[in-house]
């Protein structure tokens, strides 16, 4: 079981996590509700567990959530009073078993990078005098511009991968001097 809500959850899975608050204890009668808001909504009631709560989002309830970014807020309530005990953002990943349709799990930046690289390859092969990327057409004279776009997208993709890996995967350059 998770302590708190992670950065990513998958639609169609059971979501289960533990929440505690030093100020609003379940043992004192506080009730916890966690609300997820994005393209759809899901509310999950916590069940008292000692001084904290265990919250469970049933697989049947998460299955209908479209993939995307959701904000969440956990609030403790008792006797007409309500206090926020946590909030954040979670990426809901798609339920890959729910559809037989092809799925492209690349980010927008990864898709754009692939498209600009295809455009560059087409132009550099000199089999075509122009190639399109996005909603714009490019010629051989635009090669440097396309390379700049490609380099920016490469940096963006690398930053996204580092962010999704908790900062791991960065290049660290070390230089050793002679004696």
Mean of pLDDT values over 43-70: 95
The CATH number of whichever domain residue 84 belongs to comes to 2.60.40.10
Mean of pLDDT values over 31-52: 96
Residues 118 and 49 in one domain: no
Residues 12 and 70 in one domain: yes
The residue that leads in pLDDT, 1 or 7, is 7
Its domain, for residue 129, covers 108-164
Residues 59 and 117 in one domain: no
Q: How many domains does the chain have?
A: 2
67 falls within a domain: yes
- Tell me, yes or no, if the pTM score tops 0.85: no
Last residue of a domain, one of 38, 68, 93: 93
pLDDT digits (tens, 9 = 90+) for 78-92: 999 999 999 999 999
DSSP string, the chain: -EES--SEEETTSPEEEEE--SSS-GGGT-EEEEEEESSSEEEEEEEEETTEEEEEE-HHHHTTPPSEEEEEEEEEEETTEEEEEEEEEEEEEP-TTS--S------HHHHHHHHHHHHHHHHHTTS-SEEEETTEEEEGGGHHHHHHHHHHHHHHHHHHHHHHTTTTT----------
Residues 80 and 152 in one domain: no
98 falls within a domain: no
Residues 84 and 112 in one domain: no
Last residue of a domain, one of 36, 67, 93: 93
């Amino acid at each position: 079981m998770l302590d708190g809500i992670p950065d990513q959850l998958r639609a169609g899975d059971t979501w289960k996590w533990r929440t505690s608050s030093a100020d609003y204890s379940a043992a004192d009668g506080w009730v916890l509700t966690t609300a997820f808001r994005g393209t759809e909504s899901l509310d999950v009631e916590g069940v008292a567990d000692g001084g904290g709560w265990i919250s469970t989002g049933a697989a049947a309830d998460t299955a209908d959530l479209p993939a995307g970014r959701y904000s969440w807020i956990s609030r403790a309530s008792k006797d007409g009073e309500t206090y926020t005990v946590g909030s954040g953002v979670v990426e809901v990943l798609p339920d890959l078993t729910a559809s037989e349709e092809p799925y492209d799990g690349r980010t927008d930046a990864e898709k754009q990078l692939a498209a600009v690289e295809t455009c560059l390859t087409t132009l550099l092969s000199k089999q075509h005098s122009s190639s399109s990327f996005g909603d714009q057409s490019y010629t051989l004279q635009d090669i440097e511009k396309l390379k700049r776009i490609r380099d920016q997208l490469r940096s963006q993709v690398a930053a996204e991968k580092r962010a999704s890996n908790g900062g791991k995967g960065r290049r660290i350059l070390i230089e050793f001097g002679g004696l």
